[in-house]
Structure formats: structure tokens, C-alpha cells
Structure 1
Amino acid sequence: MKAVSLTRGRLEVVELPVPRPGAGQLLVEVKRCGICGSDLHSRLHADELADSLELCGYPRYARSDQRVVLGHEIYGEVVDRGPWCAGTIRSGTPVVTVPLVRRGRQVDGVGLSAHAPGGFAEHVVVQEALTLPVPNGLSADIAALTEPMAVAWHAVNRGEVTRKDVAIVLGCGPVGLAVIAVLKARGVATVIASDYSAGRRALATNCGADVVVDPAVASPWEGPTAGYGFMTTMPDEYNAGIDAIEGLTRLPVPWWASWRAMEAVGATRPKRPVVFECVGVPGMLDGILAAAPLHSRVVVVGVCMGADTLRPSLAVNKELDLRFAVGYTPLEFRDTLHALAGGTLDASHLVTGRVGLAGVASAFTALAEPEAHAKILVDPSLTTDRILPR
């Protein structure tokens, strides 16, 4: 079969044997596979990523000197299965999959390890238990977005965002756009998006952002968040506390009793935005800590590929809540798929191009230019090396 191999940063089309599914595994003919930011990072920063993953207990992440077939945002059709399968997914069934495979107790990330070749190929092996039939005749292009949209679904869950919250999305690449789409699917009333790229700002609007800001011209923190009652300075909060006590002392009960009653119903809970950092470059986190209103909840979704420096005193004095998000649960993956198939989650604006295996290298280059593309899907049936518009 044809596949795209990565070694020492070089992508090339190669001939490889069709993989054989092991116990509990399926062989899938790839129909679409999205190019993810993780793929771009793996090409340029494989060893840094591998070093980090080794500290997390996974020593088998792709290394730059290994031959790796990337691709983990997979949509395809089942063509074979290995032994000890449940057999509930028949051949010819269109499927998507959580990109993990297991041999014994060893689990590897599909497309992110030399031990688990990925979806930039004509065929790929996946885990039957993590594979889901695609419902409702969902189109190939949208079904292939299940995996990246599940990442956004999980990030929004990590943010514990309610419909009444103000969400601020910093960075409108594929991850940020997916977060915007999920936020709007959840009914979040106000989503503010920020990106330097005019093309990405336009896509953010298409994905449902209510306010879109060019940070070179205006701050996403000042004008767009005015009127929501966020505390922006420490004296603001101190004055609010003193004002509250002065008002409560006029009541016929001790002020602390009234305060405690208000606290029980959430009336003293500070108003704050939920911020999604979807850029992943050094300096972003410290900039957020400096600019965000007091008590902001910050969910870090962008992957910074180098060491970074931040000032914890900013987060301490503002009482900021800093969370990190990666991946998703199997249930979140399933729910994302069905939200896409049911039409409650609209991801149609994310895909900007398709390319065959011969054009994967050029697609990687194109994705470095934010004005041109957001999400490019690999379609192994295409013979051209040109990027075709969706």
C-alpha cells in the first residue's frame, strides 16, 4: 500500500505492506485523515515531544530518526478484522476511531508512534473497542473531524462553561475554531475570539463567534468584556467588599450572617470569563495572567513546544484558575460524533482543502500560512499533489 513516511523531518510517499490486524483489532481502508497540529509539531519537534511524553510514562512517542506514518484523525471503512473481535462492526461499515491500539497491555498512539502507523496511508489498523460506526450518513469530510472536535468538546468540558458565561478564545487555528463551534453548540451566549490573521477571524465568525478581535488593533480583554461585571484590578475587588459590608451592616442581623446566606446561594461568587488558550507559543500564558480579569478560569489547549516562563504571583494575586486539556474520554468522542451527525454541532467551516498522499508535504507547508487554510484532509484516493478546495 502507499503511505506517507516521516523521517528526520522529511515526508515522502513510500510502499509498505498492508498491516495485519491483531487480536481485537480492525483493518480500515482510509477514506479521509485530517492533518493535525500535532502532526506539524511531530515533523519539527518530535524529540522534544518524545522527551515530554517519556516523563509522562510513555517512552514510545515518535522520534525524529524513526520512520513514522503520521495521521490520527481517521475516517474509513472496515475491510478486515483480527482474532478475538466481537464482530459487531461488519466489513464495509464507515467508521471513526479513537486513535489508540493495544497489544497485550502496551498501548500506542496511532500515527504518533513508530509502533502504530497512522492514517496517512491507504490502510490503518485500529482498536475495535474504540471504533464507532458513523451514523446518519454523515459525510466523509465531517466524520473525519470527529477526533479534533472531540478535543474541543473535552476542552470545553474542562472549562465547565455555562450558557451564561463569557468565553474568550485566543487563537483561531483549527483548535480554536473547534472550541468556538463547540461553545456555540452548547448555547454559550457570548464567545469572543482573537487572532492576528484576517482569514482566521473570518472563519471564527463563520463558526459562530459573537465578537472577533484583531489583537494588533484592539485588546480582547477591554472593550469586549466591558459591562459583564468582571473585576480587573485588586482595588476594585477590595472596594466591592467594603461596600458590601457597609450595606449589610444596615440590616437588623450581623453582616456575616447575611454574607453567609448570600454565599450559600452563590450571590458572592465573583463574575469571571472562561479563557481558552489555543495558540501554544512562549509568552502566551504569562500574557494571559497579566491581562485576564480577576478570578478568570484559563483552559490551556494550545501546545507550547518549548520551555516557557510565567509569573505565578500574577495568578496568585488574581486568584486565577489554570487548567490544561488534552485528548478526550471515549464518551466525549462518541458524543461528539453524534452531535456532528445530528446537526447540533456544526464543523462545516473548518475544512478548507483536501489532498492526496502525494500532496501531504505541500499541505504541511500550506498550513504554516494562517491566511490560506484551517483544516486540510488527506484523501488517499486522490492522485494529484495539489491541494483541492473543499
Structure 2
Amino acid sequence: MRAAVVTDTKFEVADLPTPSPGRGQVLISVSRCGICGSDLHARTHADEIADLAVATGYDHFMRSGQSVVLGHEFSGAVVDYGPGCRRRWKAGTPVVALPIVRHGKQPHLVGLSTAAPGGYAEQVVVQESMTMPVPNGLSAEHAALTEPMAVAWHAVRRGKVGKGQTAFVIGCGPIGLAVISMLKAAGVRTVVASDFSPRRRELATACGADVVVDPATESPWTAAPKKSRINGVTDILGLGFDTMERLRRVPNLPWWYVFRLAHTLNAGPAGPVIFECVGVPGIIDQILTAAPPLSRVVVVGVCMQIDRFQPAMAINKEIELRFVLGYDPGEFRDTLHMLAEGKVDPMPLITGTVGLSGVENAFTALGNPEQHAKILVDPSSSAVTPV
């Protein structure tokens, strides 16, 4: 089969042996495969990421000197089964799969390990238990976005955004755009998006952002149409005085029970939920400095460098800081069905398609935020530049 192989940051199209599915695995023909920011990082920073992976307990991440077929955002069709499969779907059935396989008891990340070649190829091996049929005639292009949209759905779920809360999305690259789409699919009424790039701001609007700002000229924190009651620590203290004065006006009221009930129901004052989708040093510190008190900050952007921020700033504002990664199989399935049922439209994210021979050009094009957001690889295409 033909595949785009990267070695020491350089791509070449090679003829490789057809993959053979192992026990419990399925061979699928690749229809489309998205290029992810993780792929861009893996191409140029493989050894750093591999060292980090080892430190967190995963020993099989690719190294720079290895030849690897990248690609973990794919859709395709069933070709064949390995031994021990239940053969749930007939040949030709459109499917997607979580990009992880198991060899023995060892898990391998598809497209990020030499033991699990990815979707920049005509065929890819997936785990039958992690494979799902594509419903409702969803197109191959949109089905391929199940994986990145599931990342965003996981981030939104972990953010626990109330429909009446304001959500801020800082950075409108592919993952920021996906988060905006999923926030709106979840019914969040006010989404404020911020990015320096005019093109990305345009795409943020297309994805449903209610307010879009250029942080070079306008602060996202003052752009929200719904003004927060709490803008500083003094406001929190004032709220405490006001609440106690009201409660003490009621004779014989055990006012502390009111507080206990509020704690049980999580009904106290809350700030906005902020999604950091940039992933460069300094952004977390900027957010903690500028964000209102009682905010929840969800870090989705992957920063590969050592970063610094001032913990006392977050402590004084009682800001909650969460880091998110990936998704679980249930979130992946729900995302697929949200796409298939039209609850979320991934079309604004897709800005180009290339064939296997165009993968290197696509990586270069993705370095310019004014050109592209998400480029798909179509193994049957001859396009060498994104179209």
C-alpha cells in the first residue's frame, strides 16, 4: 500500500506491505484523515514528547529517527478482520475508530508509534472493540473529524459550563474552533472568542461564537455582553457582607444552614469558564492575571515548553485550573452521533484536502493561520497542494 512516511521530519511516499490485522483487530481502507496539531508537534518534537510520555508511563511514542506513518483522525471502510473478531460489520461498511490498538497487553497510539502505523496511508489497522459504524450517511470528511471534535467535547464536559455562564475561548486554531462548536452544541448561550488572526476570527464566527475579538485592540474580558457581578476580590467580600445582612434580618434563622445548602447544591457565586486553546508559554499566566475571580480555566492547548505563572494570583482569585487530554469511548461515540444528527457542523474547520504526495505541503501550509485550519488527507487524491 502507499503511505506518507516521516523520518527525521522529512516526508516521502513509500510502498509498504499491506497491514495485517492481529487478534481482535480490523483492517480498514482510509477514506479521509485529518492533520492534527499533535502531528505537527510529533514531526518536529518527537523526542521531547517521547521523553514526556515515558515520564508519565507510556513507552512507545515515536522517536525522531524512526520511520512512522502519522495520522490518527481518520474515517474509512471495513476491509478484513483478524482472528478472534466478532465480525460485526460487512466489508465496505463506513466506520471510524479510536486511534489506539493493543498488541498483547501493550497499548499503542495509532499514528504516533512505529507499532501502530496511522491514517496517512491507504489502509490502517484498528481495534474492533474501538470501532464504530458511521450512522445516517455522514460523509467521510465529516466522520474523520470525530476524533478532534471528541477532544473538544471532552474539554467542554470537563469545563462544566452552565448554559447561562459565559464561556471564553482564547485561541481559535482547530481545537479552539472545535471547542466553540461544541459549546454551542451544548447550549451555552454566550461564547466569546479571541484570536489575533482575522481568518481565524472569521472561522470562529462561522462556528457559532457570539462575540469575536482581536486581543490586539480589545480585551475579551470586557467584550462579553453579560457583565459579571464579580470583577475583583472586593466584590466577593462585598457579596459576603450583603448576604449576611439579608440573612440576619430573618429572626431565629439558622443562617449557616443556608450556606450548607448552597454548598451542597454548588449554588454559590461563579465566574466564567475559560478555555485556553493556544498552548504557548505565558498564556496561562496572562489568563490568571486578567480573568475574573472564581473563574474555571480549562487548559486544552498543548504547550511543549516549560512555563511559569504566579500561583498567588490564582489563589487570591480562587481560580480553578484544569488540564484536559483526549476523551473516552463514550464521548467519542456521542461526538460521532452529534455530527451525524446535525447537532454540530464541522464544515467551517475543513479548509483543504491533499493526497499522500501533498502531506509535506499541507504541514507547511498549516503554519500560516491565515490560510488553513484543518487539512484532510485523501489517499486516493493526486492533489499536492491543499484544495
Please classify the TM superposition score into its range, dividing by the shorter chain length: over 0.9
Equivalent residue, structure 2, for 1:165 = 165
Displacement of 1:108: 0.1
Check the 8 A contact 1:151/1:328 in 2, yes or no. Answer: yes
Structure 1 residue runs of 5 or longer lacking an equivalent are: none
Q: Partners in 1 of 2:31 and 2:164 — Cα distance?
A: 40
Q: CA deviation digits over 1:132-161, x for unaligned, max 9? A: 110111111101100110101111111111
Give the superposition deviation at 1:162: 2.0
The equivalent residue for 1:243 is 242
Q: Is the 8 A contact 1:275 1:299 kept in 2?
A: yes
Name the SS of the counterpart of 2:77 in structure 1.
strand
Letter of the 1:368 partner, please give it: G
Give, in angstroms, the shift of residue 249 of structure 1.
Answer: 2.7
Q: Distance in 1 between matches of 2:125 and 2:39?
A: 18
Per-residue deviation at 1:246?
Answer: 2.8
Moved more, 280-289 or 252-261: 252-261
Cα distance in structure 2, aligned partners of 1:226 and 1:163: 13
Q: Classify 1:102/1:265 alpha carbon distance in 2 versus 1 (closer, same or farther; 3 Å).
A: closer
8 Å CA contact retained: 1:245, 1:255: no
Correspondence list, 1:1-390, <5 A: 1-224=1-224, 227-229=227-229, 231-253=230-252, 256-257=255-256, 259-260=258-259, 263=262, 269-388=268-387
Instruction: After TM superposition, give the deviation of residue 7 of structure 1 in Å.
Output: 1.1
1:90-148: CA deviation from partner (whole Å, max 9, x where unpaired): 11111100000101101100001111100001111111110111011111110110011
Letter in 1 for 2:349: L
Distance in 1 separating the partners of 2:343 and 2:190 = 18
Q: Distance between the aligned counterparts of 1:206 and 1:159, measured in 2? A: 22
Q: CA deviation at 1:258?
A: 6.8
CA separation of 1:80 and 1:257: change in aligned 2, threshold 3 A: closer
Aligned residues: 387
1:37-82 CA distance string (max 9 Å, x none)? 0000011111111111111110110111111110000111111111
Q: Is the 8 A contact 1:248 1:258 kept in 2?
A: no
Q: Which consecutive segments of 4 or more residues in structure 1 shift more than 4 A?
A: 264-268
1:317 is displaced (CA, Å) by 1.1
Give the Cα separation in 1 of the matches to 2:181 and 2:226: 23
Q: Counterpart of 2:347 in 1: which secondary structure? A: coil
Residue 249 of structure 1 contacts residue 255 of structure 1 at CA under 8 Å; is this kept in 2?
Answer: no
Q: Closer, same or farther in 2 for the Cα pair 1:84/1:178, shift >3 Å?
A: same
Contact 1:185 1:346 in 2 (8 A): no
TM-score, normalising length: structure 1:
0.96
Aligned partner letter, 1:320: I
In terms of mean alpha carbon deviation, does 22-31 or 263-272 score higher?
263-272
TM-score of the superposed pair, with normalisation by structure 2: 0.97
Distance 1:366 1:30 in 2: 22
Q: 1:253 and 1:361 mapped to 2: Cα distance? A: 74
Whether contact under 8 Å (2:211, 2:223) holds in the other structure is no
Task: Tell me, yes or no, if the aligned pair for 2:152 and 2:178 is still in contact at 8 Å.
Answer: yes
